[in-house]
Chain A
Amino acid sequence: MDRRHPLATVCLYAALGLGALFMVVPLAWMVLTSLKTFPEVIHSPPVWFPSAPQWGNYRTVMAGFAFYRLFLNSLFVAAMVIAGTILTCCPAAYAFAFHEVRHREILFGILLTSLMLPAQVTIIPLFRVFSAIHWVNTYLPLVVPAWLGGNVFGIFLLRQSFRAIPRSLIDAARIDGATEWTILWRLVVPVSMPAVLTVCVFTFIWSWNDLFNPLIYLQDESMATLPVGLLYFINRSQQIASASADQVPWQLVMTLATVMVLPLIALFAFVQRRLVESVASSGVKG
């Protein structure tokens, strides 16, 4: 490779710096705002750094809003969805990787089409059915689809990874008399642990971030997950705002938003390399 022109290097770093700034500023602004006082929030020109960090904002949000419950609700839903995803997607991926049946690839192709399907397309009939069987205001509409292989992207990723296992290894186990169930959980899954973990992380992110389904199915405020809770909180804070003649208490809204993204960022810090690599490979293999 030829050496880069020094000017090109400067441009390269400048562009990357600008891009990085665009990525960091909104996030930083969100966190900084969560530590400001209300006068600082509405001050013009904008105040970048709080004069003294207002940790009390976090206490206010926790005290004035059923925050712990929302957090636990979100965790519960995510845990159930992850469990269902692993317990049903692993077998499905294994079946589609190592079991020959007729039209298997066509069947898999049809299964994959649901990746393209926006949630809005199926929501009305599902809502009607879930209402009829009294599942509205329970977590079942959010959880049950995951227990029936609802995470097709997970099946796809796992199948990719399972296929890298040499067939001879599977056949050897079969000759030893192991059942398919045992081979799956004792051989295939342990060998593909990185992929399984990646699917867990992705499932967590989707479940944690999902607004559309909880918005429709969880009408009881005490059952809300965090994204819906954020909306409730904004609505309530405006109600408070009109009573106390203030504007939206942005510092509190940003506090809730910060707490909402904190687990995601913490998780990301641990798994970033693996996550980024699996996303990088999704386009190549897909």
Chain B
Amino acid sequence: MFSRPREPLLWMAVALLSAAGFWWAGRSRNPAPLPGKTIVTWYQLITPLQDLHREEAAAFEKAHPNIEVRIVWATGTEYNTKLKTLAAAHQLPDLFFAGDVWLSYLRPLMRDLTPLVRRDAAAMGLDDFYPAIRAAMQLDGRTYIMPDTMNLSLLYYNRRLFSEAGLSEPTDGWTWDDVVRAGRVLTRPGTPGRPGVWGCSRVEGWWGEWLIYVRQAGGAVFTADGRRCALDSPQAVAGLGFYLDKSARYGISAPPGFEPANGFVNQRTAMVVGGHVSFWLSYSATPGLDWDVQVLPSGPAGRPGGELAIAGYSISATCPHPEAAWELAKFVTRPEAIAAIVARGGVSVRRSVAEAAMRDLRRGSGPGNLAAVYRQFDYGEPIPHNPYFLEMMYNLIQPEVDRMLLGELTPAETGRRAAAAVNAFMANFDPEGS
């Protein structure tokens, strides 16, 4: 009574459909290259230079007809997790965006470029990279990164707000006191129809700004041998204290959580300590924003400090065609490529490009005081090399700093708690041991 002649047909249809479904579900999304062609996958952070990266890839394909470039984009928030996840899944891209901040963390995934660099040193103009940059490309004497951009901490200021407040512009040799004095004059509350202005912005949830103060006060995150956290030193605590006092004591920065979104661009903050070179493009593109830079003000320890970091490209350790990836790495860091980036507003990692930019007075995309930028080169300090640097900064130290801003901890307690957490972490996750 239950058997129907069409039933087997129905089940066959179900089976076929399911098989098709599984085929689609399990299909590899990396299509095979055409015969005679090599595919180089390029994992790239989305930045304002995105269109430039696309152009570079197209130009490279034209110059190397047998290589196809496939760019995989990621944003900053996704970047590290995704790369490690791909590594865990044995699907690392051939060439990937990397910086010296991540160097020791990602080193197990990176190819040692030393032999290639040595072989092609003359052709690619290795000596053209500034010595500080060349040092940042390396770890323990081995080269891992080919740089195309860099960041320097600077003092950014809004010229219009300064002149409206009757202040003279910041000079080389400013100190914390000068920042506070100017900040107090610049800060004014909002009135209906006219938003308020804060004298100085404050970066929350990231070490970009407070680390500058810690260093300017003579402190550091780690001891010289890198084996212990030094945030509990009086100098470091003084640096954290200044970061807090900007709002808590001097009132030149917004209370925590009320930092105006994109305050510098919207002209609601008059100064930025630290900042990032990659914002130059959007600063210059904003109508009515008259801005410039100066060497960082110095703190109690008498030097401006600040970070010097590079970003560029690494080749993955498992890349099956390293020569093709190496060609691409050299291509996107050649002088013409660097010049294109600098033309957008950026700091050159190559001396030849920097000097050409300094001579060229028709520039208009960067700050006026370009001399201050290259002077800051002398003060920049590299990020400490520890595989767990980012994790320790974000996960162990930053929450304590956040609580300090909210008034839950004093700077001294913050330093002590952060140091205790980092020291316990390093004892457990000894980089040598794992």
Seen from chain A, the residues whose Cβ lies within 8 Å of a Cβ on chain B are: 76, 79-80, 83, 87, 127-128, 130-131, 134-140, 142-143, 173, 176, 178, 182-183, 186-187, 216, 219-223, 232, 235-236, 238-239, 241-247
Q: Which 8 A-B pairs have the closest CB atoms?
A: A136-B89, A139-B25, A245-B265, A131-B89, A235-B75, A178-B2, A182-B2, A186-B2
Q: Which residues of B contact A135 (CB under 8 A)?
A: 26
The CA of A163 and the CA of B82, in the complex, are separated in Å by 47
Say whether A143 contacts B25, CB under 8 Å.
Answer: yes
Known interface pairs A186-B2, A245-B265, A247-B261; A219-B25 also in contact (CB < 8 Å) = no
The CA of A242 and the CA of B264, in the complex, are separated in Å by 11
Majority SS of interface residues in chain A? helix
Question: B16-24, B234-242, B417-425: which lies at the A interface?
Answer: B16-24
Say whether B29 contacts A243, CB under 8 Å.
Answer: no
Q: Which residues of A contact B266 (CB under 8 A)?
A: 245
Say whether A173 contacts B262, CB under 8 Å.
Answer: no
* 6 pairs, CB–CB < 8 Å, chain A vs chain B: A79-B21, A136-B91, A137-B91, A143-B22, A183-B2, A238-B75
Residue of A nearest to B4 (CB): A186
Q: Which residues of B contact A232 (CB under 8 A)?
A: 75, 78
The CA of A34 and the CA of B48, in the complex, are separated in Å by 26
Known interface pairs A83-B18, A143-B25; A239-B89 also in contact (CB < 8 Å) = no
Which B residues, 78 to 107, have Cβ-Cβ distances below 8 Å to chain A?
Answer: 78, 82, 85-86, 88-91
Q: B89's contact among A137, A176, A223, by CB below 8 Å, is which?
A: A137
The CA of A238 and the CA of B115, in the complex, are separated in Å by 40
Min CB–CB distance B208 → chain A (angstroms) = 14
The CA of A83 and the CA of B279, in the complex, are separated in Å by 50
The CA of A187 and the CA of B3, in the complex, are separated in Å by 12
Q: Which residues of B contact A83 (CB under 8 A)?
A: 17-18, 21
Q: Which residues of B contact A235 (CB under 8 A)?
A: 75, 77-78
B282 sits at the interface (CB 8 A): yes
Q: Which residues of B contact A221 (CB under 8 A)?
A: 72-73
Q: Which residues of B contact A186 (CB under 8 A)?
A: 2
Number of A-B pairs, beta carbon distance below 8 Å: 100
Q: B29's contact among A127, A173, A222, by CB below 8 Å, is which?
A: A222
B281 sits at the interface (CB 8 A): yes
Known interface pairs A187-B2, A245-B266; A127-B88 also in contact (CB < 8 Å) = yes
Known interface pairs A83-B21, A178-B2, A243-B282; A223-B88 also in contact (CB < 8 Å) = no
The CA of A82 and the CA of B340, in the complex, are separated in Å by 52
B191 sits at the interface (CB 8 A): no
Residue of A nearest to B286 (CB): A245
Q: Which residues of A contact B279 (CB under 8 A)?
A: 242
Say whether B24 contacts A245, CB under 8 Å.
Answer: no
Residue of A nearest to B18 (CB): A83
Min CB–CB distance B139 → chain A (angstroms) = 27
Which B residues, 1 to 58, have Cβ-Cβ distances below 8 Å to chain A?
Answer: 1-3, 14, 17-18, 21-22, 24-29, 46-48
Q: Which residues of A contact B48 (CB under 8 A)?
A: 243
The CA of A72 and the CA of B77, in the complex, are separated in Å by 26
Say whether A219 contacts B26, CB under 8 Å.
Answer: no
The CA of A20 and the CA of B77, in the complex, are separated in Å by 37
Q: Which residues of B contact A131 (CB under 8 A)?
A: 88-90
Q: Which residues of A contact B27 (CB under 8 A)?
A: 138
Q: Which residues of A contact B21 (CB under 8 A)?
A: 76, 79-80, 83, 143
The CA of A142 and the CA of B22, in the complex, are separated in Å by 11
Residue from B2, B22, B78, B281 with most neighbouring chain A CB atoms (10 Å):
B2
Min CB–CB distance B4 → chain A (angstroms) = 8
Say whether A137 contacts B262, CB under 8 Å.
Answer: no
Which B residues, 235 to 257, have Cβ-Cβ distances below 8 Å to chain A?
Answer: none
Say whether A138 contacts B26, CB under 8 Å.
Answer: yes
Q: Which residues of A contact B85 (CB under 8 A)?
A: 136, 216, 219
Known interface pairs A136-B85, A222-B29; A236-B75 also in contact (CB < 8 Å) = yes
Known interface pairs A235-B78, A245-B265, A247-B262; A219-B89 also in contact (CB < 8 Å) = yes
The CA of A27 and the CA of B151, in the complex, are separated in Å by 43
Say whether B26 contacts A244, CB under 8 Å.
Answer: no
The CA of A76 and the CA of B73, in the complex, are separated in Å by 24
